[in-house]
Amino acid sequence: MTTQKVTGSKALILSLLEEGVDTIFGYPGGAIMPIYDALYDFDKKVKHILTRHEQGAVHAAEGYARVSGKAGVCFATSGPGATNLMTGIADAMIDSTPLVCITGQVASPLLGTDAFQESDVVGMSIPVTKWNYQVTNAEEIPEAIAQAFYISQSGRPGPVLIDITKDAQFGELDFKYEKCKKIRSYVPETPVDPFKIKEAAEIIDAAKRPLVLFGHGVIIGNAENEFKAFIEKTGIPAAWTLLGLSALPSDHILNVGMLGMHGNYGPNLLTNEADVVIAVGMRFDDRVTGKVSEYASKAKIIHLEIDPAEIDKIIKADVAVLGNSKKSLKMLTDNVNKNSHNDWVARFRDCDYTENEKIIQNELFPEKPGLTMGEVIRITGDKTNHEAILVSDVGQHQMVASRYFKFRKSKSNVTSGGLGTMGFGLPASVGAQFGALDRTVVAVIGDGGFQMTIQELGTIAQNKLPIKIIILNNNFLGMVRQWQQMFFDKRYSFTELQNPDFITIAKGFGVTGHKVEVREDLENGIQKMIDHNGPYLLEVVIEKEDNVFPMVPTGASVSEIVLEH
């Protein structure tokens, strides 16, 4: 293998190119300046997207990763630059999103001296990274980057962080690059046990009321086809977690809706009537289970999961099948009998009818004068032919968008799940657009979350990204206000917002916008947004006290789901 003499900074860029990196999100500063200087010579080979804040860079990298299936890459300088990444790194960790985060650091002789813009980024990121490493010698850079990409993207994915001191960036080395294929003592996935597969298959074949719960692991494992084949052979109804959304087409006959606190009536109510629950690539999050002691009380639990740490962590499994979901689902499908559960599936459809009568019709086709979140989502989905990528922030609008936006393609739902990060939506839409340049990206954001990362309108404008942004504006921190209404006697403690003129602000950034306040203007407003050649901001003023139902109250069993307050 030939070598060339280069600086550590150039070695970093060459290493990223060897890993197929085509887009980097970042923000320069003093301690990472040598890397940015090296990047200057590679502008034809890799795009660098200058965000307006480091948190914007890491959320953009998440959006890119979630849509492209590749590791997202972001740069930040030392001190506050590095600390500003932490929220996004924590978000990526809990949502199993592959990231490679590169931070600059003060020169190695200054480490531990409280030098200007020094922070212990390695120490503080340990709990929220899959792996991290500090480079103090230029010769370490190629191997560190190779390991970073391998660890980030293998097994259960996650974020890694490489902190590079300034002297390592200036130092020289003989560059050669070898991709990492294994690391001693690191086992990214367990081989699927055929005996566990047979044990699970026997339970599934004997089931009368089985229910599949599918999560992000189906999408991460590229197992959408295998999953679809499994449920179609067995005839088992399937319900999705928030991050499992889009793994199965919304209109599939066996798709029975969303699990969890604001999920659909059927999959929540009937979980406690199921005799077998097959969990695929999901971790039994508390928002899914409700009261754990009363969850799936009549069911045997079969858990297909790549991460051994998730087995028996919340819900004890009768049969645990470790391994990649693409492999385990194929093996399971080969071992189960062809079946149907028409009467059982009909129970879910009966619940759909009840939910539709009490909630959905009023949300999607309201007769009241005020605009609802649901009708905005319905019209937007229809106008984009249900083929757009939906990026949502966190709050009421996130739940409504997830419930009513329809999907035909996988990797089409980008949202913050486990950490629930307000401010995620706008920068994540930037990354999602770069991850799928040929697709329409619709960002649905609440007025509160939008103001947390509003500056990323500048990133969108500078890069002329045709992102369609919808602000659902109720002048409240809506989800908190709903809880205050229901559980705190309408004591709206510091949740009402005095909002700015969003359209004027967007115009200041160079983004065209329009405000809709009455139903007569809504459909045309959405159509105008979609037809516009370039980024567009549509602000829709919705009812101030528009709530999200159904709802499983905190601490309640999923079968205690309520349809109205």
- Active site residue ranges: 54, 116-117, 166, 479
- Helix axis angle for 54-68 and 86-94, nearest 10°, is 30
Of 407, 399, 406, 354, nearest in space to 378 by CA: 406
Task: Give the CA count within 13 Å in the CB-facing half-sphere of 514.
Answer: 16
- Helix axis angle for 54-68 and 425-435, nearest 10°, is 40
- Distance, in Å, from the CA atom of 548 to the CA atom of 529, rounded to the nearest integer, reads 25
Q: Where are the beta strands (DSSP E) in 430-481?
A: 441-446, 468-473
Of 132, 127, 71, 81, nearest in space to 104 by CA: 81
- Helix axis angle for 194-206 and 325-335, nearest 10°, is 50
Task: Give the CA count within 13 Å in the CB-facing half-sphere of 213.
Answer: 29
Give me the torsion for CA of 555, 558, 564, 565, rounded to 10°.
-10
**Residue type at 175 in one-letter notation:** F
Residue 365's CB is within 10 A of a number of other CB atoms, namely: 11
- Distance, in Å, from the CA atom of 116 to the CA atom of 34, rounded to the nearest integer, reads 17
- Distance, in Å, from the CA atom of 283 to the CA atom of 474, rounded to the nearest integer, reads 33
- Distance, in Å, from the CA atom of 164 to the CA atom of 12, rounded to the nearest integer, reads 10
Residue 346's CB is within 10 A of a number of other CB atoms, namely: 11
Fill in the DSSP letter of residue 271: G
- What is the C-alpha end-to-end distance of the chain, expressed in Å? 69
Element at 239 (helix H, strand E): strand 238-240
